[in-house]
Structure 1
Amino acid sequence: MRKGKMLLLFLLPPFFLTGCWDKKDPEDRAFIMTLGVDDSAKGCSFTFAPANTGGGEAQTYSAESETLAGAVAKIDGQMSRKTDLGQLKTVILSGDFLEDSRKLDSFLQELERSQTVSEKVMLLATEEKAADCVDAVMAADSKTGTFLWDFYKNTAREVAVTKGIDLDTFLTERAEQNGNGVLPRITAKEKKLELGGGIAIARDKVYPLDNEEERGYLFLLGEAEGALLEGEYQGETIPLEIGKSDVKYDFSVEDMDIVCSVTLPMEGTLQGGEGTFLSAEKRAEMETVFEEVIKTEIEHTLKIARRAKTDLFGILPRMYQQEPTLTEGISREALWQSLQFKVQPELELKDMGRKR
């Protein structure tokens, strides 16, 4: 009897060790790299782009559902491979979808709660169908699906025409900015991707930003390193590359108006024109030329938020933090509409380039 009990003790443990019974091999999973989200009468239309881990040409597929989890469940009921969002790198949101605050909030909350999707997944926006952009992404890179991820991680920081933003950062900004925020823009033309610009998001409304307007936004953030501008000097068009970019905000009351002074210390390098042999007078003149170019560009970007009648660019949170007494008893909307701006670029030309 004792021997039987001992034998039973040795035999039972393997039955309680599940091991890899429910584990799927990589070839049994569809690793989704890019996800597109469009508005739909049934809720949302989700377009999935898996990495091409096998031979042949990878295919996108889609499903309509109120939730991402519901769309994944539908797809899994139709395919032999399990949909895996653990490697998801990029989510592309259409303008129509972004204009529905209820759907957008619900989707973002689902991503935030997900145990699978990384909080560092990159968010992009498009004025077109997100599904078309996903198709263009697949055409550009169906093997790894990391083209967009690599662009925003590496190149975008050096050209200052767009700014990458991940899920965690976007959620933080929306919380601080009363639901507003800016996402980088992606466009698909003839199945080719165009990257640059942005889409500013308010409640139930979007405001596209072209490359220059997005650059103005980057100046407001103090993140315009790499920006290339052109200025006219003595009948010649001269390019300037921004080497260092910073920003300082000061809030004060002047003649009963609340004034936001935006000071932008920066350094730049001329890419052509006069070369190294500039007199101090000419150098000062050219600095003034480009300061006016930058000032005009930033003021144009601010006018978009004026027309939207809401702070699209995260300026009011700075005011609430720096000068809380100036905001007392004034609604956010009234405060934004009454705020006056003084934009003051302070450019220093450093390396003047070389004559060739």
Structure 2
Amino acid sequence: MCEKKLLLLALLPSFFLTGCWDKKDPEDRAFIITLGADSTAAGCSFTFAPANIETGEAETYAAESETLAGAVAQVDTHTSRKTDLGQLKTVILGKELLEDGAKLDALLRELERSQTVSEKVMLLAADGSAAECVEAAMAEDSKTGLFLWDFYKNTASEVAVTKGMDLDTFLTERQEQGGCGVIPRITAKDGKLQLGGGMAVTPTKVYPLDHTEERGYLFLLGEAEGALLEGSYRGEVIPVRIGKSHVFYDFSLVGDSILCTVTLPLEGTLQGGRGNFLLDESDKELEEIFEAIIKEEVEHTLKIAMAAEEDLFGILPRLQRAMPQLAEEYSREVLWDAVVFEIYPDLEWKDMGRKR
């Protein structure tokens, strides 16, 4: 009798457990992998690209709303599957949205506050319509939708044509840099994706960066490993790959200006050439050729920021840490107007040809 009472007491809590009565099976959910956001007169147009867990090709769908939550709620009234952002990997931001600082901030904060979207979701900037880029991405990979994610995870960091950017990092940089930052660029052309380059974003405008300008930005970050440069030497085009990339900043007052000295310690490896010039006496000459190429690229990239009158590339936070008293005394605008740059690449060879 006592044993029966104990068994009844043990089983009693199970009658009050809800269990999984409200659990949705995977086939009942639309797991969104890629999201596109474009600016419209009424707010934003959102394009959702789900992973395809069934046979056939996955289809994108769109909704227009002032908020992402509103768009999700809209979509859920037109589909039998619950929209799930828990697996979201990539958010593509349209150019017109990037130019509207208020809308952009509102969307970024909504993504940041979301209980389901990861703070490590990858951001991309469309050089045009985000919806077109989402459609092109789905054409590349309609099964999993992970084409973009895989590119930035496996390829981008090794070829130095662009730099991955997640939500958390961009929000931090945007706060430190007065609303400015660089997002990797994506372009849809004839239904195909073009990856590489960047979009320098300010609160009111965007500045497209081509592959060379983006590479100059990567040199400024000390993250140009994998960059391939080509220089002319003795009538031959010589390719050099950057193996190691570092950067050091030094700030000093020179009259009414703030001199920013940027030193770039680099390691390069020759990737080709007939081999008749790979002699010790050629080392210095080749170094000077490629150092001049790097210096020109970095200076050209910095000119974009100077012409925009905005710290697009995160120089001022370095200055503020190096000279806090000066940073407290003057505004960002005054400081940026006073900065002048001197660029000093320092290239050394890792290997001057294969030894047999």
**The TM-score by the shorter chain falls in which range?**
over 0.9
In 1, Cα distance between the equivalents of 2:47 and 2:80? 18
The letter of the residue matching 1:61 is Y
2:84 aligned residue? 84
- Kept in 2, the 8 Å contact 1:275–1:354? The answer is no
In 2, Cα distance between the equivalents of 1:15 and 1:30? 32
Q: How many angstroms does 1:325 deviate by?
A: 2.8
In 2, Cα distance between the equivalents of 1:7 and 1:344? 80
Q: Secondary structure at the match of 1:319?
A: helix
- Kept in 2, the 8 Å contact 1:198–1:208? The answer is yes
Q: How many angstroms does 1:328 deviate by?
A: 3.9
In 2, Cα distance between the equivalents of 1:46 and 1:15? 43
Q: Where do 1:1-356 residues align within 5 Å?
A: 13-14=13-14, 16-273=16-273, 275=275, 278-354=278-354
- Kept in 2, the 8 Å contact 1:268–1:350? The answer is yes
- CA distance 1:78–1:8, shift in 2 (3 Å): farther
Q: How many angstroms does 1:6 deviate by?
A: 11
- Kept in 1, the 8 Å contact 2:256–2:338? The answer is no
Q: How many angstroms does 1:279 deviate by?
A: 3.5
Question: How many percent identity over aligned positions?
Answer: 70
Q: Secondary structure at the match of 1:54?
A: coil
Q: How many angstroms does 1:276 deviate by?
A: 7.9
In 2, Cα distance between the equivalents of 1:11 and 1:218? 63
Q: Secondary structure at the match of 2:24?
A: coil
Q: Secondary structure at the match of 1:350?
A: strand
Q: How many angstroms does 1:26 deviate by?
A: 0.4
The letter of the residue matching 1:337 is D
Q: How many angstroms does 1:229 deviate by?
A: 0.6
The letter of the residue matching 1:37 is A
In 1, Cα distance between the equivalents of 2:53 and 2:279? 60
- Kept in 1, the 8 Å contact 2:278–2:353? The answer is no
The letter of the residue matching 1:38 is D
In 2, Cα distance between the equivalents of 1:244 and 1:179? 30
Provide structure 1 residue ranges, at least 5 long, that are not aligned to the other structure. Answer: none
Greater mean alpha carbon deviation, residues 5-14 or residues 338-347:
5-14
RMSD value, Cα: 2.0
In 1, Cα distance between the equivalents of 2:351 and 2:193? 34
- Kept in 2, the 8 Å contact 1:275–1:355? The answer is no
- CA distance 1:284–1:8, shift in 2 (3 Å): closer
The letter of the residue matching 1:163 is K
The letter of the residue matching 2:312 is L
In 2, Cα distance between the equivalents of 1:130 and 1:15? 50
Q: Secondary structure at the match of 1:24?
A: coil
Q: How many angstroms does 1:117 deviate by?
A: 0.4
Greater mean alpha carbon deviation, residues 218-227 or residues 167-176:
167-176
- Kept in 2, the 8 Å contact 1:264–1:345? The answer is yes
In 2, Cα distance between the equivalents of 1:276 and 1:298? 31
Q: Secondary structure at the match of 2:334?
A: helix
- CA distance 1:280–1:352, shift in 2 (3 Å): closer
Q: Secondary structure at the match of 2:278?
A: coil
In 1, Cα distance between the equivalents of 2:226 and 2:275? 19
In 1, Cα distance between the equivalents of 2:43 and 2:16? 42
In 2, Cα distance between the equivalents of 1:9 and 1:278? 86
The one-character-per-residue Cα deviations of 1:270-322 (angstroms, maximum 9, x if unpaired) are: 11226386333321011000000000000000011011101000010011011
- CA distance 1:7–1:292, shift in 2 (3 Å): closer
In 1, Cα distance between the equivalents of 2:354 and 2:277? 9
Provide structure 2 residue ranges, at least 5 long, that are not aligned to the other structure. Answer: none
Q: Given the two structures, how large is their TM-score scaled by the length of structure 2?
A: 0.95
- Kept in 2, the 8 Å contact 1:275–1:352? The answer is no
- CA distance 1:13–1:305, shift in 2 (3 Å): same
The letter of the residue matching 1:87 is Q
The letter of the residue matching 1:16 is F
In 2, Cα distance between the equivalents of 1:35 and 1:204? 23
The one-character-per-residue Cα deviations of 1:185-236 (angstroms, maximum 9, x if unpaired) are: 0111121111100000011110000000000000000000000011111222
In 2, Cα distance between the equivalents of 1:8 and 1:101? 63
- Kept in 2, the 8 Å contact 1:183–1:199? The answer is yes
